Structure 1
Amino acid sequence: MVELKRKLGFWQAYATATGLVVAGSTMVSLGNGFGSIGPAFIVAAFIAMIISIIIALSYAELSSIMPGPGMIGDYTLVSMGRFMSIVTLLAGYLVLAATVGPMETMTASMAIEYLIPGVNTMFIAVAILVAFLVVNVLGVQIFGSVQLGIVLLLMLSTAVMGVLGLFDVLTVSTSIVPEFNPFGWSTVMQAIALGLWLFIGIEFVIPLGNEVKKPEKTIPKAMIFGLITIFIVDMLFGFALTRHLDLASLAGADTPQIVGAAAMFGDIGGILMAAITVLAATSSINANFAAVPRMFYGLARKGLLPNAFKYIHPKFRTPVFGIVFVFLLFTLPLFVLESNINVIMTLLSAASVTWFFSYIVAQIDVLILRKRYPEITRPFKAPFSPILQIIGIASCVYMM
């Protein structure tokens, strides 16, 4: 059987981990979060980051025990059996791919429409998906290089705009100082669920474990470093938005990140942020194309999915059937759903619930495997168990 090859280093793993998280939809939720809560949204986002680190530590332990690409399906197969493994994968990640893919593609096409008014958004959306289909079929090294370039450009651009906006450099508007917590701490605590969307999906680097060098060390570092840098970059830009646009306008805008950038830097700011939004959406799409087919590949090798999913192209060493399948999951909804903010937010809500479900199962997997196989070698071991897992489970239930 043709196997996957280890070609990805830390930075490619970091780009994969952050590439799905920093998505077009997170740019929207970041702006709406600061608009709805005020600058105190940083507190909700910080708590959400801590919760995400807790979840990432559990995933890191599980992946160090079973480093295969099946991820949550592999872990649940051992801890809870065949039926729950299939349910978790389909409920968690099949539904997820069918919602996140169209959502990010719509976000990208709407941002492109801002850049080119009147453009055929359906054509643009399908063209984006075809481009990343090709990139991912051609090989993991090409994927890693493309993903690393996109993520570094995305993070650097957003951070620079945030710093310039905070210090009123090159801005066209007069800065304001909004009240830090205008709506009360109960509202801040309710916003933790919105804050978690800024970090959700960091575990998508794990299915590439068979293609990452020294995965037991590289993957935990990539996830935790990714979460911390995402928090810093997002908060810089979010605070800058509140200094140049009133909170009500941020909260009510369909694309608050673009509206806010235009308020800070004029038309050039809006154009640049629209381009960044396209980068963010395409980064998420690219990461999905890489991760989800490898989950299907891992489960197909265990007989939990049809054999077609375990086919590896002999030349490119990529799970071609799974990549094409994900392409169809992303593409078909575009022909029956309208591209607007209401549809995007509905897809976001559906994706959140399925993601939290899979996170709960992962925490339970850690507890079961610690109890059932205490003697097994764990190259990475999550600290403070079972306290962290209990906190993780309770947090996900609260988010749902």
Structure 2
Amino acid sequence: MLDQGAPPPHDASAVPPSPGLAARLMRRKPVERLVAEGGQGEGGSLRRSLGLWQLTMISIGATLGTGIFVVLGEAVPKAGPAVTLSFVIAGLTALFSALSYAELAGTIPVAGSSYSYAYATMGELVAWICGWCLVLEYGVSVAAVAVGWGEYLNELLDGTIGVTLPAALSAPPGDGGIFNLPALIVVLLAMTFLLGGARESACANTIMVVVKIAALVLFCAIGVQGFRSGNYEHFMPLGMAGVSAAGATLFFSYIGFDAASTAGEEAKNAQRDLPRAIMLSLVIVTVLYVLVAAVAVGAKPWRTFTDSEASLAQIMTDVTGQSFWGTLLAFCAVVAIASVVLTVLYGQTRVLFAMSRDGLVPKVFSKVHPKTGAPRANTLIVSLFCGVLAAAVPLGQLADATSIGTLFAFALVNVAVVVLRRTRPEMRRTFRVPLSPVLPALGFGLCVWMMGSLSTVTWVVFGVWMAVGLVFYFVYGHRRSRLATPVPSEARTHQK
């Protein structure tokens, strides 16, 4: 018999036991909840206004930039005329990860790209690490590309009006200057477009992408007039080892095809269009790269290529005997790099929007302006940070940090597609990676191999960045995560 004065026995089922630390770190966000919350933040929702054409242009805009205008001078001496084969190999390497992105983008059509995919498949801690890598990738990439834009702008000004900006205003401290004004200007210009909304910024990006594609087609049309078959007599002078070495260098020219996946909540028909945009952009970029490389090597003996930013412009000048065409290409390079700044900055803001909606970073990043449908405060903060970083900080080798952040995210996406196939085989997929899990495994292995080829300095920067991110997560994000709310609230949120 129970003692009448004793307290009632504890009902263990009334209050569920608090999960342990390991369980909290591995908590996953259900795919259905990710999709249901798509675009819905406490500060408003993103607007679905982008079609297949705009999404494809976003991916091409982020990919087709500085690489093709400077990379030939680095890659041709390693592979000779077989640099065309190196471009194909690099494109196939990127293809493995692109296939995984295409499947997940169609299955989980939300903002956040690989961060959101990791949250649904591998848990919160892995998702945080992935998102933190994307912040590094996009942030440093915007700053580094903006610095390159300033260099091309100086070349264009010198070629047209014979004027260049003084070093004090075109380089950061430590690199012979005081403040890199052009780098700040191009970031602020991109910010202006983004504040107008996704549709308006996509329109501006499309115009810039069309200009740079036209410039490369023009290069091929003019360069082929100087084509000499003798330049291809010794197709692979440095053997397959040289082709592979050049392919590793060229792989980084393909980074950016994943940009469309950050637009998952602004696509009109995300499940249909995102996989198509990712694959179509990769095909277009690969074809352009191979054509430009084939014409360039045919018009100029491979031994005469140097690590010069003006290699394509010089070929056009040599073939025509007129400097006008080289100047025109320099103008197109300025436009090309500006579109990279715009699309990469766009991706950065959408990743932070997704992380903020999940409670892992402050709420200000998920507040959407009611008129434009753009995360205005998010865009302002990110743009000003990247602009100051580009203008006032000498990046140097730190720019390689964008490569390691990208490769880490790519590797996780290849894992995520296999995990989701095993845990949720019944889900509707508008695109499926063929020969899974073989191709995702190859994509993962190639990403790890590429990461291993990066410098020690890059790994040190990556390690420090990860340490800072983990401290921020355990101090702020872990306790404020929306998945940490009680189950009843969570259920109500999901049902809305």
Would you say same fold, with TM above 0.5? yes
Which of 413, 416, 436 is the equivalent residue of 1:385?
A: 436
Measure, in 2, the Cα distance between the counterparts of 1:125 and 1:206.
26
Which of 403, 406, 411 is the equivalent residue of 1:352?
A: 403
Larger Rg: 2
Going from structure 1 to structure 2, the CA distance change for 1:349 and 1:262 (only over 3 Å counts) comes to: farther
Going from structure 1 to structure 2, the CA distance change for 1:61 and 1:175 (only over 3 Å counts) comes to: closer
How far residue 154 of structure 1 moved from its aligned partner, in angstroms, is 0.7
Does 310-319 or 25-34 show the bigger shift?
25-34
Gaps of 5+ in 1: none
What TM-score do the two structures reach when normalised by structure 2?
A: 0.74
Going from structure 1 to structure 2, the CA distance change for 1:105 and 1:261 (only over 3 Å counts) comes to: farther
How far residue 235 of structure 1 moved from its aligned partner, in angstroms, is 2.0
How far residue 242 of structure 1 moved from its aligned partner, in angstroms, is 2.0
Report the equivalent of 1:310: 366
One-letter amino acid of the counterpart of residue 151, structure 2: M
One-letter amino acid of the counterpart of residue 331, structure 1: G
Maintained 8 Å contact 1:55/1:392: yes
Q: Deviations over 1:187-235 (max 9, x none)?
A: 1112222221221110111111111121122112112121111122222
Report the equivalent of 2:447: 396
Going from structure 1 to structure 2, the CA distance change for 1:141 and 1:48 (only over 3 Å counts) comes to: same
Measure, in 2, the Cα distance between the counterparts of 1:94 and 1:183.
38
The reply on whether 1:38 has 2:96 as its aligned counterpart is no
Measure, in 2, the Cα distance between the counterparts of 1:379 and 1:246.
46
Measure, in 1, the Cα distance between the counterparts of 2:356 and 2:394.
34
Report the equivalent of 1:17: 59
Report the equivalent of 1:94: 135
Determine which structure has greater relative contact order: mean sequence separation of CA pairs < 8 Å that are 6+ residues apart, divided by chain length: 1
Which of 129, 148, 165 is the equivalent residue of 1:107?
A: 148
Maintained 8 Å contact 2:183/2:391: no
Which of 280, 285, 288 is the equivalent residue of 1:230?
A: 285
Gaps of 5+ in 2: 1-42, 159-163, 171-179, 452-496
Report the equivalent of 1:376: 427
One-letter amino acid of the counterpart of residue 372, structure 2: F
Going from structure 1 to structure 2, the CA distance change for 1:399 and 1:334 (only over 3 Å counts) comes to: same
One-letter amino acid of the counterpart of residue 353, structure 1: I
How far residue 83 of structure 1 moved from its aligned partner, in angstroms, is 1.2
How far residue 248 of structure 1 moved from its aligned partner, in angstroms, is 4.1
Q: Deviations over 1:306-356 (max 9, x none)?
A: 1111110111100112212321342122334458xxx3xx35532212111
Q: The residue matched to 1:47 in structure 2 has which SS?
A: helix
Maintained 8 Å contact 2:78/2:243: no
Report the equivalent of 1:128: 186
Measure, in 1, the Cα distance between the counterparts of 2:216 and 2:413.
32
Report the equivalent of 1:177: 231
How far residue 176 of structure 1 moved from its aligned partner, in angstroms, is 6.0
Measure, in 1, the Cα distance between the counterparts of 2:68 and 2:362.
34
Measure, in 2, the Cα distance between the counterparts of 1:203 and 1:260.
32
Going from structure 1 to structure 2, the CA distance change for 1:290 and 1:284 (only over 3 Å counts) comes to: same
One-letter amino acid of the counterpart of residue 372, structure 1: T
Which of 296, 307, 312 is the equivalent residue of 1:241?
A: 296
Which of 198, 202, 219 is the equivalent residue of 1:140?
A: 198
Q: The residue matched to 2:306 in structure 1 has which SS?
A: helix
Maintained 8 Å contact 2:69/2:309: no
Report the equivalent of 1:6: 48
Maintained 8 Å contact 1:244/1:260: yes
Maintained 8 Å contact 2:56/2:281: yes
One-letter amino acid of the counterpart of residue 85, structure 1: A
Q: The residue matched to 1:98 in structure 2 has which SS?
A: helix
Maintained 8 Å contact 1:253/1:259: no
How far residue 371 of structure 1 moved from its aligned partner, in angstroms, is 1.5
One-letter amino acid of the counterpart of residue 57, structure 1: L
How far residue 153 of structure 1 moved from its aligned partner, in angstroms, is 1.4
One-letter amino acid of the counterpart of residue 181, structure 1: M
Report the equivalent of 2:345: 289
One-letter amino acid of the counterpart of residue 388, structure 2: L
Measure, in 1, the Cα distance between the counterparts of 2:399 and 2:306.
17
One-letter amino acid of the counterpart of residue 168, structure 1: G
Maintained 8 Å contact 1:103/1:347: no
Does 58-67 or 279-288 show the bigger shift?
58-67
Q: Deviations over 1:50-70 (max 9, x none)?
A: 222221121121122221102
**Percent of aligned pairs with the same amino acid:** 22
Q: The residue matched to 1:211 in structure 2 has which SS?
A: coil
Maintained 8 Å contact 2:225/2:319: no
Maintained 8 Å contact 1:97/1:288: yes
The reply on whether 1:331 has 2:387 as its aligned counterpart is yes
Measure, in 2, the Cα distance between the counterparts of 1:160 and 1:180.
25
Maintained 8 Å contact 1:101/1:329: no
Measure, in 1, the Cα distance between the counterparts of 2:271 and 2:94.
19
Maintained 8 Å contact 1:163/1:236: no
The reply on whether 1:277 has 2:330 as its aligned counterpart is no
Measure, in 1, the Cα distance between the counterparts of 2:83 and 2:444.
23
Report the equivalent of 2:313: 258
How far residue 145 of structure 1 moved from its aligned partner, in angstroms, is 0.8
How far residue 245 of structure 1 moved from its aligned partner, in angstroms, is 3.4
What TM-score do the two structures reach when normalised by structure 1?
A: 0.91
Report the equivalent of 2:209: 151
Measure, in 2, the Cα distance between the counterparts of 1:8 and 1:126.
28
Measure, in 2, the Cα distance between the counterparts of 1:108 and 1:35.
25
| RMSD between aligned residues | 2.0
Maintained 8 Å contact 1:25/1:107: no
Report the equivalent of 2:241: 186
Measure, in 2, the Cα distance between the counterparts of 1:85 and 1:338.
30
Q: The residue matched to 1:210 in structure 2 has which SS?
A: coil
Going from structure 1 to structure 2, the CA distance change for 1:392 and 1:368 (only over 3 Å counts) comes to: same
One-letter amino acid of the counterpart of residue 359, structure 1: F
